[in-house]
Amino acid sequence: MAINWFKYSAPTTFYSLAGKLIPWFAVAAAALFAVGMYIGFYIAPVDYQQGEFYRIIFIHVPASILSMFLYLIMAGYAAMGLIFNTRLSAMMATAIAPTGALFAFISLWTGALWGKPMWGAWWVWDARLTSELILLFLYLGFIALHASIDDPRRADRASALLAIVGSVNVPIIYFSVKWWNTLHQGSTIKFSGTSMHVAMQQAMFIMLVACWLYAIAVILARVRSIILERERHTKWINELPEVKHVA
């Protein structure tokens, strides 16, 4: 059976597909957030060094992972938009940026809240913290650059270049704790496995999945609005029941 991969790369079909998927992702995300928080705050044991303070890890680590992965996905969509000249790719990149920026901000914010009681400082200019801050600025730069150019197709191309160049920063964030000496500790979850206690691992994994589902739901909702806005002159948009109703 031949699958038509390109069917859903058209905004027309993707718009309705996204609309159907959003509630599922949103409900699953809410349920997993509840379960993950419960395990993280009630079932996972205290840490031998950090006591209760370490529990912020269940938000801090998933947010950091998402901020880095979403950047790579955003840069991937931006590159696809440049190479194949597909409309939807650039719209996806634009839709991902605010969520990525949000996760980068949460990562930095929870990191500061964690750093003060444990390290003794809200912030240090070590390689891990600084490169994550640069990631936040890259997201904000991408959003600002896209918003500053009136013609959306030109805005797509300019911001796509920024996104692609900035992707060099992601491996730097990941390996920073290995390449240089930093105040931030090394990776707990490595490619070779983890030394973490089982209940802690479960809580973190569930929170990570919940963050993914939330990110997907929000990004799909955002890309739907972008499609509506940018394709507003087309016939199919004006034939949508929700658009007709308003008009």
Nearest residue to 92 via CA among 227, 237, 233, 240: 227
Task: Using alpha carbons, list the distances in angstroms from residue 173 to 177, 189, 197.
Answer: 8, 15, 25
134 binding other proteins? (CB under 8 A): no
172 binding other proteins? (CB under 8 A): yes
57 binding other proteins? (CB under 8 A): yes
Kindly indicate which of the ranges 16-24, 64-72, 94-102, 183-191 contains the residues binding other proteins, using the contact rule CB under 8 A. Answer: 183-191
Least separation in angstroms between residue 169's CB and other proteins is 8
Question: Taking the chain, what is the end-to-end CA distance rounded to the nearest angstrom?
Answer: 41
Closest CB to other proteins among 186 and 241? 186
Residues binding other proteins: number (CB under 8 A): 40
Which member of 31, 34, 168, 243 binds other proteins (CB under 8 A)? 168
Task: Using alpha carbons, list the distances in angstroms from residue 35 to 28, 31, 199, 216.
Answer: 11, 6, 12, 19
Question: If you search the block for the tokens 């390109």, which residue do you land on?
Answer: 6
76 binding other proteins? (CB under 8 A): no
113 binding other proteins? (CB under 8 A): no
What DSSP designation does 151 have? S
Token pair recorded at residue 237: 């948009």
Cα separation, 107 vs 100, in Å, equals: 11
Which residues are at the interface with other proteins (CB under 8 A)? Answer: 45-50, 54, 57, 79, 82-85, 117-121, 124-127, 164-165, 167-168, 172, 179-183, 185-188, 195-197, 200
